[in-house]
Amino acid sequence: MTRKIWKDIDLAKAPVTKVLEYVNSAPQGLSQEAAAKRLAEDGRNELDYGDQKGLLRITLEAFSSPFTLVLIVLALISFVTEYVWVPAAEADPTSAIIIMLLVLMSGLIDIVQTVRSNQAAEALDTFVEVTSAVCRDGLVAEIPTEELVRGDLVELAAGDMIPADLRLIHTKDLFVSQTSLTGESYPVEKLADASQAEFATDESTYPTMAYMGSEVVSGSGTGVLVRTAQDTLFGEVAEALQEAPVKTSFDAGVESTSRLLIRFMLLMAPTVILINGLTKGNWLQALLFGISVAVGLTPEMLPMIVNANLVKGARSMADKGTIVKNLHAMQNFGAIDVLCTDKTGTLTQDKIVLQTHLNIDGDEDERVLRHAVLNSYHQTGLRNLMDVAIIEAAQRELTFDPDAYTKIDEIPFDFNRRRMSVLVEDASGKTQLITKGAMEEMLGVCAYVEVAGEVEPLDEAHIARILTKVDELNARGLRVIGLAQKADTPREVGLSDESEMVLIGYLAFLDPPKETTAEALKALSQHSVQVKILTGDNALVTQSVCRQVGLDAERYLSGADVAEMSEEALKAAVEDYDIFVKLNPSQKADLVRLLRENGHVVGFMGDGINDSPAMRAADVGISVDNAVDIAKESADIILLNKDLMVLEKGIESGRTVFGNIMKYMNATTSSNFGNMFSVLVASLCLPFLPMLPMQLLFLNLLYDTACLALPWDRMDGEYLEEPKRWDAGNIKRFMLWFGPTSSVFDVLAYAVLFFVICPQAVGGAYGHLGEAAQTEFIALFHTGWFVISLWTQTLVLYALRTPKLPFVESRPSFIMMVVTLGGILVGTLVPYTRLGVALDMLPLPSNFWWLLLATVVGYLLLVTVVKHVYVKRYGELL
């Protein structure tokens, strides 16, 4: 809307007064009433990425998976051949109805899970709400970025994300990263004064404009909001691209296995039809049986099982304090084998206290604390925990009022200078520039040092003495920053004024390790997750903290070391070293990238501005609910409690999700593969079909219902100790081992039913019976194999869910037992009901139950032996 009235270049070059007039705003911002009216007119400041799925789209996607489409085609064929093309007296749509019931059950559950997942994601957004500092009615308050409107005045500080397109009206050393828009890795400076700016042709580089999607790296500023939501430059880019999400290795693995099973089905079904048509002579019946076999070989529940596991896992992780923003990140979360993290707030309590404030002589000095509180109290940039600690210490120890001084100007903190300055004026009109920052950087801007109340030149002897004192404090686990001042400076200061300063003292902070850190690191190690510390802090402080929590702290690499190393040398170094200190943000991201290139699945946990590049480079970005805006936006996983123990529980949940999906994949694919051999043998050897199409479809329905309980099953503790990745080769190997195992007992069951059970029940062998007796013989055989197949196919889930002895060494969940055993009970009782009559089943003779018992016991024993050999050979089952 606004773009049609004013071009970007007009907004960028126009005087501030004209811009305010254009958006109908004022220097004190909008009134609450005007803002509410505009919000109602223009809508919320939210981007439409095109991925908001309505119920219709969700429904279409639920019924358009490859397996579902195959089943729909098979149902149509069955309906035509069994209902349309036959005489009215013989018409029976039961098979088509059962197939469509499978389709509806899978699709409807998928729809319900997807809708619930979307609702859960929307609800979780309240935990990670992003706000902006907005001036309305002359007062500054934090409000959700979605409620911003044109004309709002937004205050910016380091760490903020730009919430919409802004025309800057005031800046102070404001540097913005526009990587998401331009791809440039270096921040660009932004200016409010159009007369001082140089304008290029690319609108994203207009220096007086700040665009949605970029982030404040350093400095401060104020801007008037000129465009929101889809009208922004970022909104237009998002709308134009609409890129499909990147396919994860897990998704690719599911698809490859799906294609494999569909190929089996396309090969198997025509073969069964051909064999039965040639040997039995009834081509229509052979076609219907082939369709039923195809249905049985189709894992139609796979999409729903995967989705149910993801949603169930996300809810479980939420209960443990871990919010999953991206469901598809859960597989990678469970697969993490390297966790990179900063030191502050993860290993430590993130509750910094000012332990001591010393002059250059090493003595406690109130004057040092007074200068420090003037700097921290009056600065308006990114107030960190050190500033809070200084102010709290001053309130405890001093009767000093920082409001007695007036702030004239400031130079905000940035990660390159690693210091910040405030210019204050006392009641007499004397000005003083006070600077605090990292010790090395402070020595670089100081030319003098105050010793015993006298100002002396800062020479090599003083520097050596200062660094020795700093090392001594660092070795005690204290974080040290320097404090300097310069009197009688200009009333407007810039970076050049941070020079020729007088170093007056040190500030030493303590951030003690968390009580749970050592235990958490041990737990992560037991789960085969290697922890690497990537910090911007110095070596001595980092080593002190690492020793306290049980990490080997002797070997480390510094940012300077990293900068001098070649790519190949650094690839080796990231494996050999676990501690990296004095890193800048780009170095953190490079180390994460190299770990991934080395074959690791990497998680990065961070909460600061300098962590966002590394979070984006990791497989899984992990942040906390009180992190800066850009960190929360970059994260896939958000912890409600910044504690490594919570993270370890989340990793366990991710691995549980993966394991339960693998149970279904392995059990179903091996069962289907075994059924292929069993049906081929039966088609070649028996004078009739081993099971009627409707019976086979009903069996498949009962088995699929039993599999619905798998997302609620528990995993063995040993399985959770190792990171897991999708490997289609493992699934294929599992099929080749356990599929033929089931066929062995299928063939034995065929033989006993055909030669022993059925002849004894009807009074003779099949070939010597009349037509009526043969019909009874066939019905008993079908019923017997139906019950045996149901018991073996369902109970083998208990054997294949764990490499241990089921029930004895590994207990399944109560829900799984109820659902699976309930399915077996229903299927066993069906022959004695009207449904059994409709399915052409008969009550089974008493000697059948001995066959069932022997088959089940023998099959499970054989599976246990094969499982033992398999695990011994390959080291794992799932």
Give per-residue pLDDT as tens, 801-836. 888 888 888 888 898 899 899 989 999 999 999 888
Average the pLDDT over 338-342 and give the result: 85
Summarised one tens digit per residue, pLDDT across range 566-599 is 888 999 988 988 888 888 777 888 898 899 888 8
Summarised one tens digit per residue, pLDDT across range 682-718 is 777 778 777 777 777 788 778 877 887 888 888 888 8
Of 467 and 85, which is predicted with more confidence? Answer: 467
Q: Are 380 and 420 in contact (CB under 8 A)?
A: no
Give the pLDDT band of residue 246 (cuts 50, 70, 90).
very low
Considering 292-296, 730-734, 821-825, the range whose residues carry the highest mean pLDDT is 821-825
Q: Tell me where in the chain the CATH 3.40.1110.10 domain(s) lie.
A: 353-510
Local structure of residue 247 (DSSP, 8 states) = P
Whether 342 sits among the annotated catalytic residues: the reply is: yes
Q: Tell me where in the chain the CATH 1.20.1110.10 domain(s) lie.
A: 252-315+651-874
Distance, CA of 249 to CA of 603 (rounded, Å):
16
Average the pLDDT over 528-535 and give the result: 87
- Overall pTM surpassing 0.85 (yes/no): no
Tell me, what's the pLDDT at 626?
55
Residue among 295, 305, 303 nearest 262 (CA): 295
Of 432 and 720, which is predicted with more confidence? Answer: 432
Distance, CA of 639 to CA of 115 (rounded, Å):
24
Tell me, what's the pLDDT at 458?
92
With tokens 């190997």, the residue in question is 733
509's tokens? 């902070």
The alpha carbon of 734 is separated from its chain's Cα centroid by a whole number of angstroms, namely 28
pLDDT reading at 446 higher than 70: yes
Tell me, what's the pLDDT at 728?
65
Q: Tell me where in the chain the CATH 2.70.150.10 domain(s) lie.
A: 2-45+148-241
Of 89 and 439, which is predicted with more confidence? Answer: 439
With tokens 């590394």, the residue in question is 614
Q: Tell me where in the chain the CATH 3.40.50.1000 domain(s) lie.
A: 336-348+514-640
Quote the Cα angle for 472-473-474, to 5°: 90
Distance, CA of 172 to CA of 155 (rounded, Å):
11
CATH number belonging to domain 353-510: 3.40.1110.10
pLDDT reading at 185 higher than 60: no
Distance, CA of 387 to CA of 372 (rounded, Å):
9
The answer as to CATH 3.40.50.1000 being correct for domain 336-348+514-640 is yes
CATH architecture of 252-315+651-874: Up-down Bundle (1.20)
With tokens 């897990």, the residue in question is 250
Distance, CA of 415 to CA of 395 (rounded, Å):
28
The enclosing H or E element of 170 equals strand 165-177
Tell me, what's the pLDDT at 241?
42
Tell me, what's the pLDDT at 506?
92
Strand 139-144 relative to strand 353-359, pairing: unpaired
> Considering the chain, what percentage of its residues have pLDDT values greater than 70?
78
Q: Given phi > 0 = left and psi -120 to 50 = alpha, else beta, which region is 599?
A: left
Distance, CA of 602 to CA of 614 (rounded, Å):
10
Q: Are 270 and 88 in contact (CB under 8 A)?
A: no
Residue among 873, 707, 717, 712 nearest 800 (CA): 707
Tell me, what's the pLDDT at 694?
75
Three-class SS state of 385: helix
The answer as to CATH 2.70.150.10 being correct for domain 2-45+148-241 is yes
Tell me, what's the pLDDT at 463?
92
Summarised one tens digit per residue, pLDDT across range 2-57 is 444 455 667 777 888 888 888 888 888 888 888 899 988 888 887 664 555 667 77
Distance, CA of 864 to CA of 798 (rounded, Å):
11
Q: How buried is 445 (Cβ within 10 angstroms: 0-12 exposed, 13-18 middle, 19+ buried)? A: buried
Give the pLDDT band of residue 238 (cuts 50, 70, 90).
low
Of 8, 231, 342, 611, which residue is the catalytic one?
342
The chain-wide mean pLDDT, for the chain, equals 79
